[in-house]
């Protein structure tokens, strides 16, 4: 017998997905068996209707063949709860029970209820200032950070070293305890991690004196980090497992945001390091040797005769590391400094140069 799912939910055939969902919510609340106005048979009908109309493929098939038409099963639409978008129903409804179909149906159909997620400690972000040279070559740095960490003495077990372990009385050694949950489908039993043994199933006869059996302590940790070469201002270095520890879970991560100090001489352009060099006019004309400070130490730079203002002199292999055996270059931009005033003799010389067309 064909069933009119649209009529069951009280919506038109052209109803949108939101309209169908809204109608189902209203009727599910009205017919829920736990309520005074409940009607189990009606509740099953609206649930079956919604399971079909909320699924795009099933709805299209239903519109074409009706409820008795072909489907993945041998006898048309099987009803039940296939096709539900359980993620939509995860908030409280103000009716005194929790409206979380994702948990309910998972448990109802053998899925164990809510997927047990591993607890995880909080991530931490800190700022670290480094020099320009450290940003180019990389550096080893030490950070002192006060945070919750795994107890060093008991290694997070909470037990005194060498003590006996006993079966947890709360969970009977299973590491999980059952709890009753109420929902729009009635009362269901689910499981959660045991708070007493934190899922281990055993508790120590004697607790660790350092952490008092908790397995974690708040203390100052010395954290060593390697800053990679060629890191830029604002980049982040991640240390897995160096964040906050948590009882019965995994430790969070540490994110170190890098701040590179401004350098008055050098800047980076890709794999090259750039700097400016002031050169006297006479040296620019005649050529000279200039001492230049680089990140690798001092060098003597040859200024070629007749160098131009803004010309770039390249010193190879003095830039940013590319690989373990190659680096970019040092680019030196020439700035020719002209005198503010000329002596009489200097003026005569310049005037003679001017006559020669220079």
Write the DSSP string, 37-74.
Answer: T--HHHHHHHHHHHHHHTSHHHHHHHHHH-TTS--SST
Each residue's pLDDT tens digit, 10-42: 999 889 988 999 898 888 888 877 666 678 888
Is 335 within 8 Å of 279 (Cβ atoms)?
yes
What does the block give as tokens for 5? 């799912």
- Domain map of the chain by residue range? 5-84, 267-355
Is 18 within 8 Å of 88 (Cβ atoms)?
no
E strands, the chain, are: 124-130, 139-150, 165-167, 176-183, 186-193, 202-204, 216-227, 236-239, 254-260, 267-269, 272-280, 288-294, 297-303, 312-315, 330-337
CATH topology of domain 5-84: Helix Hairpins (1.10.287)
Q: Considering the entire predicted model, what is its pTM?
A: 0.60
Query: Which numeric CATH code is attached to 267-355?
Result: 2.60.260.20
Q: Determine the Cα–Cα distance for residues 296 and 315; give it in Å rounded to an integer.
A: 12
Q: Determine the Cα–Cα distance for residues 230 and 241; give it in Å rounded to an integer.
A: 24
Is 208 within 8 Å of 130 (Cβ atoms)?
no
Closest CA to 78 of 143, 3, 142, 130: 3
Radius of gyration of the chain (CA): 37
Other beta carbons within 10 angstroms of residue 304's beta carbon come to 12
pLDDT tens track, the chain, 358 positions? 578 999 999 999 889 988 999 898 888 888 877 666 678 888 888 888 898 898 888 888 888 877 655 444 433 454 444 444 444 444 444 443 344 444 444 444 444 444 456 788 999 999 999 999 999 999 999 999 999 999 989 888 888 888 888 899 889 888 888 887 766 556 667 788 888 887 888 888 899 999 988 889 999 999 999 999 999 999 999 999 999 998 878 899 999 999 999 999 999 999 999 999 999 998 999 999 999 999 999 999 999 999 999 999 999 999 999 998 999 999 999 999 988 888 888 888 878 877 777 6
Each residue's pLDDT tens digit, 206-217: 999 999 888 899
């Amino acid at each position: 017998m064909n069933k009119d799912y649209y009529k069951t939910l009280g919506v038109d055939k052209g109803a949108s997905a939101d309209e169908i969902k809204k109608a189902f919510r209203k009727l599910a609340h009205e017919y829920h068996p736990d309520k005074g106005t409940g009607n189990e048979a009606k509740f099953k009908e609206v649930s079956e209707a919604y399971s079909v109309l909320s699924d795009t493929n099933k709805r299209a098939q239903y519109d074409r063949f009706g409820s008795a038409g072909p489907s993945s099963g041998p006898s048309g639409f099987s009803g039940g709860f296939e096709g539900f978008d359980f993620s939509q129903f995860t908030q409280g409804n103000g009716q005194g029970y929790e409206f979380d179909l994702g948990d309910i149906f998972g448990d109802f159909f053998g899925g164990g209820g809510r997927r047990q997620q591993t607890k995880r400690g909080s991530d931490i972000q800190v700022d670290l200032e480094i020099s320009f040279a450290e940003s180019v070559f990389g550096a080893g740095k030490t950070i002192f950070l006060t945070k919750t960490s795994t107890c060093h003495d008991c290694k997070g077990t909470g037990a005194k070293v060498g003590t006996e372990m006993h079966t947890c009385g709360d969970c009977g050694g299973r590491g999980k305890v059952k709890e009753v949950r109420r929902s729009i489908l009635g009362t269901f039993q689910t499981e959660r991690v045991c708070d007493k043994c934190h899922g281990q199933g055993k508790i120590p006869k004697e607790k660790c004196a350092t952490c008092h059996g908790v397995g974690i302590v708040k203390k100052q940790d010395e954290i060593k980090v390697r800053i990679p070469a060629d890191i830029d201002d604002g980049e982040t270095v991640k240390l897995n497992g160096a964040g906050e520890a948590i009882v019965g879970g995994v430790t969070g991560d540490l994110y170190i945001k890098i701040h590179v100090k401004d350098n008055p001489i050098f800047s980076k352009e890709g794999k090259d390091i750039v700097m400016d060099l002031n050169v006297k006019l006479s040296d620019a004309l005649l050529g000279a040797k200039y001492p230049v400070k680089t990140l690798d130490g001092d060098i003597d730079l040859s200024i070629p005769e007749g160098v131009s203002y803004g010309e770039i002199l390249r010193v190879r292999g003095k830039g940013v590391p590319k690989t373990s055996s190659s680096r970019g270059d040092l680019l030196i931009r020439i700035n020719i400094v002209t005198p503010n005033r000329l002596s009489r003799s200097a003026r005569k010389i310049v005037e003679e140069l001017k006559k020669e067309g220079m």
